[in-house]
Structure 1
């Protein structure tokens, strides 16, 4: 959670900046409060004996999203119920505690592997194991207590997570947008250098791999944001994911553009590589695209459209320099797609 930061630096950033550290701190505080409240209710109000499962369940139900908390509550209560029934059956039918323990663990983990239980599936075997080992499996009242305290703790954790500062992931979305825009713009600038100079620039392949990685991170951020907004009382205030999704859509035409430029630069056949003037126009277009991506300003695309028009003119009007260059056409198509997808936002 803290990565390479010291605990003091991490805590200072959590209080100073409304980012991931602060969200983690809020979730930790909520999990702690849920556990304490569950313990107080189970001991002082319901007077349940040894209600250790109540705070345990409460902590685990303060999830990263409200949806996961509510889904986890249903899964956990279902898993614990099956574990209680499994322990009760084994306690009544198998005299040996050792044999009953082994059977309950095996069958419980087997049943818990059903995907409907999700991450809570392990609770089937664990609940059965605890009840058998504590000698509660033959006492119906204690079995009911275990089920009640689990449902109580899980409910308190889920409700606190949904009502008190329900988690959102807007800062993750904004950070991913900034990083991906910067990486794409940098690749476009370096590609412009390659087009003009005709010589490969250092590190372009590595930077494309960086963009690929950032696209995967962006898709993950979009997924978290959408899930975080679902059933969330603060969901309407969440950041929009459309700008980031728009940047993600640039990946394929960008990769096609890099392939076309690299192939033209490596080719020994003159008709595949545009002449100096055409390369200058393509370079200007890529730099204009980089500026539009970096700034997020749709007005910057006016210059891109002008340059696309000039490229179209070069393609249909033979000159001494350009004779319907295959290389220029190969570069123009993905460049046009980049402009179109940026306009889609």
Structure 2
């Protein structure tokens, strides 16, 4: 269960930190100072950890001092786990957790009545509970069916209806407190992730386009394209991180009492979606360059130098446009891109002296460039 809590914290704080941020994490004093000074990842960790502590303590005190429940260990457990990454996840988790724990308690009650041997009853409850917990409606809380049943059997309360009711009550109480704390006290928002993700992805895509421009300008195809492949994989990772940022930000606004307030990064959401949408065409362009430039046994398929120069210029101007998109509010100049693309497409139709193989190579790389431009025009 401790692993589940660690997973919750990772979901709350997942981000691709820079080297400066990593340096802060190595120094606890600097990390704490940054959390208090700057809104962002560190502060979110601090706030969510404090909220989980408050929820667990409140659940324990209420269960012991007010309701006087004996050994209400499930109350603080449930409270901690329900301080989720978003308010939506907390509410969904409350339903899943209460349902899974109730199922585990009922399963233990039935086993306790029908099976007189504790060891056999425990084995039966764990096995059936884990099977039942795999139902997708339980989500991540499904493991609680088997675990709760195991704990109830182990504590010898499976045949005592009053204690079984206590287990259900303390779980519902702890989960409700966790949801309330996460909903009412600084409910988490992730708008600032959009600005950071847009900056990182814009730079990665622009750098990749510049690398392609350099490759295309060469008179001879490069000996080794592994560096380009590594660059492609790094950029793909940034695309995945950006998709996660968009999803978590959208989910963070659902049922959130702070959603109506202006949040950092709001104006970066549409530009970031545009950048993410560039990746399919970018992937096609990379495949085209690798196929055309890497086939040294057929060098005549490589476009003629002047055609490659225009194509490389197009890559360079597309890189500039991508960087402008990442900087929300900046004008995006596409006129030069359109002119170069029109020039290349005209050459594909009219330049018979290039020969079919060379035009084939040029067309293979021009089509994805057209798709990139169209995606940028729809921003």
**1:325 counterpart = 2:349:** no
1:249 alignment counterpart: 277
Task: Give the one of 188, 194, 199 matched to 1:173.
Answer: 194
8 Å CA contact 1:88–1:137 kept in 2: the answer is: yes
**1:149 counterpart = 2:173:** no
Q: Structure 2 vs 1, CA of residues 14 and 322 (structure 1 numbering), >3 Å: closer, same or farther?
A: farther
2:371 alignment counterpart: 337
- How far is 1:298 from its partner? 4.6
1:233 alignment counterpart: 257
1:184 alignment counterpart: 205
How far apart in 2 are the matches of 1:106 and 1:275? 68
Task: Give the one of 316, 335, 340 matched to 1:287.
Answer: 316
Q: Cα RMSD over matched residues?
A: 2.5
- How far is 1:164 from its partner? 1.6
- How far is 1:101 from its partner? 2.4
1:204 alignment counterpart: 228
**1:278 counterpart = 2:302:** no
How far apart in 2 are the matches of 1:121 and 1:268? 57
8 Å CA contact 1:278–1:322 kept in 2: the answer is: no
Q: Structure 2 vs 1, CA of residues 319 and 100 (structure 1 numbering), >3 Å: closer, same or farther?
A: closer
Q: Could you report, residue by residue, the CA deviation over 1:241-285 in whole angstroms, capped at 9, with x for unpaired residues?
A: 332222122222222223333444345667633333322221211
1:131 alignment counterpart: 152
Task: Give the one of 124, 136, 140 matched to 1:103.
Answer: 124
Q: Structure 2 vs 1, CA of residues 262 and 164 (structure 1 numbering), >3 Å: closer, same or farther?
A: same
8 Å CA contact 1:192–1:282 kept in 2: the answer is: yes
**1:301 counterpart = 2:334:** yes
8 Å CA contact 1:109–1:125 kept in 2: the answer is: yes
8 Å CA contact 1:260–1:330 kept in 2: the answer is: yes
How far apart in 2 are the matches of 1:282 and 1:121? 54
Q: Could you report, residue by residue, the CA deviation over 1:289-336 in whole angstroms, capped at 9, with x for unpaired residues?
A: 101111224532222112222223333443867888333222221111
- How far is 1:114 from its partner? 1.9
Q: How many residues align?
A: 345
**1:86 counterpart = 2:71:** no
How far apart in 1 are the matches of 2:94 and 2:378? 40
How far apart in 1 are the matches of 2:104 and 2:291? 62
What TM-score, normalized to structure 1? 0.90
8 Å CA contact 2:324–2:332 kept in 1: the answer is: no
Q: Could you report, residue by residue, the CA deviation over 1:13-72 in whole angstroms, capped at 9, with x for unpaired residues?
A: 322332222212111111011111112222222222222211111001111111111111
SS of the residue corresponding to residue 140 of structure 2 reads helix
8 Å CA contact 1:314–1:322 kept in 2: the answer is: no
- How far is 1:137 from its partner? 2.1
Q: Could you report, residue by residue, the CA deviation over 1:76-109 in whole angstroms, capped at 9, with x for unpaired residues?
A: 1111112222222233333333332232222222
Q: Could you report, residue by residue, the CA deviation over 1:115-149 in whole angstroms, capped at 9, with x for unpaired residues?
A: 22112122222222222222222222221111111
How far apart in 1 are the matches of 2:354 and 2:124? 82
Please, which moves more after superposition, 301-310 or 228-237? 228-237
Q: Structure 2 vs 1, CA of residues 326 and 29 (structure 1 numbering), >3 Å: closer, same or farther?
A: same
Unmatched segments (≥5 aa) in structure 2: 1-9, 14-21
How far apart in 2 are the matches of 1:319 and 1:119? 62
